[in-house]
Structure 1
């Protein structure tokens, strides 16, 4: 299959590229820059120049493909709502190309927005009426596109997709701890994050591409709920700094814009995903990955 991949040079996308090519697929990666193009060539993929904010380029890339995996996202949290709306437009554009065909379109969301405070399952569908999380735009776009006869499925990723080279939420916590001189958690620190290893996530995307039926949702979750305090304690131990509790009010000053993420309680199950796709995470846990030390190499 000729697969068009957005975010193909990112932390998760680059692993998906290798997973797809290892299974015999031809990969065309979206590249915004010369450095991204060079990375794709080095990986053995074909380069397609374009940009997430250039919808015409995405449309043309999709038209020349047998399937699309969309993992690209503009990681500018200072304008999070705006970039989430951009993702809505991207999904709608890609879907318009595949309407009426059997070509698969896999898009990305997150488990954290599904049902905070209780176990999220794949069959729960968040809406703008049920959550204020801006990323719900991606879920709403997915439903809109699927209703047009597109073979679309959603992969919801954990707050932590971990492996060497991670530049996501856990590295942000480590950087804040270094800057502040303490590793902090909010309240009792019993709020839960889920996690999945990057290679397990990449395998999930391929299985979804090859096997998913329209409208299905999958959870990239290997660990249903890790207490945030356990993550903070691991960080404190590795940096040799105190581990402290912060009140919700103190957390805003300590974590800044990231405070809302640190108090998220978002356990999630992947039981249905594992049953439907025969996907079984096999790589190390987040805390085991932290013990390897690479997260703390400066």
Structure 2
């Protein structure tokens, strides 16, 4: 099918484009710069110029495609709410032109901060009404209006070596912060955990959600590996970089973590059981720790 991909030159989106093309789909990628245009064309996809503020362009891309995968996001987490609102409006705009069709749209969310069910974040965990997870709200609204919408909820640490350089989501940000600060830190006892997922595994999940996903379905992009606690992660960083490890109180944390403080204290013991069962997804890439050892330390 012809698939419109936003964020097509990004860390996750570029891998989604590759995954789609390898599996016989045609791709039109949204590009907001000449650098993005070059990257998307080199991957073998067509280009549509625009960004998340160009709602007419987003609707054009969605209207002319057989399906949509939305991975674009403005990654300035210091102004998360503003950017999350832009994300919501973009999803709603694309969804509007999909109403009355059988075209699928797969949007991007996150597992971090979702409520636990019997001690785990499962596919049944839903963002509370007061949450600023606007992509999840938009996905729900589209599903309830009859659009064939589903959501892939990424782990806090999405990693994988690429020509963009080794990246690892929030996890790598913490490792880089520790290197810059000269110490590795965690909050309180540091028992909260974060899962991770390789971007290639995540890309496969996006494709499967597009091809086989159900309306209103939530899919957790979480690897099968046992996640490290924040204390264990800090200790790993401390050992590899030969720097001290320390526990910070919640009052001390903002001086060290700044805008990441809220995220760092969250517990995210997410599972992927329903995702694997429903879509036949099987994450198989190397673990986050293996990637850190190969490309960062």
TM-score by length of structure 2 reads 0.94
| Among 230, 233, 240, the residue aligned to 1:231 | 233
- Asked if the contact 1:122/1:273 (under 8 Å) is kept, the reply is yes
Matched, 1:176 2:177: yes
Report how far residue 226 of structure 1 moved: 2.4
Is the 2:196–2:288 contact (alpha carbons within 8 Å) kept by the matching residues of 1?
A: yes
Once residues 227 and 14 of structure 2 are traced to their aligned partners in structure 1, the CA distance between those partners, rounded to angstroms, is 26
Q: Which runs of 5+ in 1 are unaligned?
A: none
**Which range is displaced more, 260-269 or 232-241?**
232-241
Equivalent positions of 1:104-119 (< 5 A) are: 104-115=104-115, 118-119=119-120
What is the number of equivalent residue pairs in this alignment?
291
Distance 1:224 1:54 in 2: 41
Given candidates 139, 144, 148, the residue that maps to 1:147 is 144
TM-score (norm 1): 0.94
Mapped to 1, the partners of 2:292 and 2:125 lie a distance apart of 31
Contact 1:69 1:107 in 2 (8 A): yes
4+ residue runs of structure 1 moved beyond 2 angstroms?
223-226
Specify the alignment match of 2:270 in structure 1.
268
Q: Is the 8 A contact 2:2 2:67 kept in 1?
A: yes
- Superposition RMSD on alpha carbons, in Å? 1.4
SS in 1 for 2:289: helix
State whether residues 231 and 287 of structure 1, in contact with CA within 8 Å, keep that contact through their aligned partners in structure 2.
no
Bigger mean CA deviation after superposition, 283-292 or 61-70: 283-292
Q: Distance in 1 between matches of 2:116 and 2:160?
A: 25
State the 1:224 CA deviation: 5.8
Q: Which residue of 1 aligns with 2:85?
A: 85
1:104-140 Cα shifts (integer Å, max 9, x gaps): 10001001132159311112222324xx4x22x1111
Q: Does the aligned pair in 2 maintain the 1:95–1:150 contact within 8 Å? A: yes
Deviation at 1:239, TM superposition (A): 1.9
Larger deviation, residues 168-177 vs 263-272 = 168-177
2:233 is paired with a residue whose SS is: helix
Q: What residue is the counterpart of 2:213 in the other structure?
A: 212
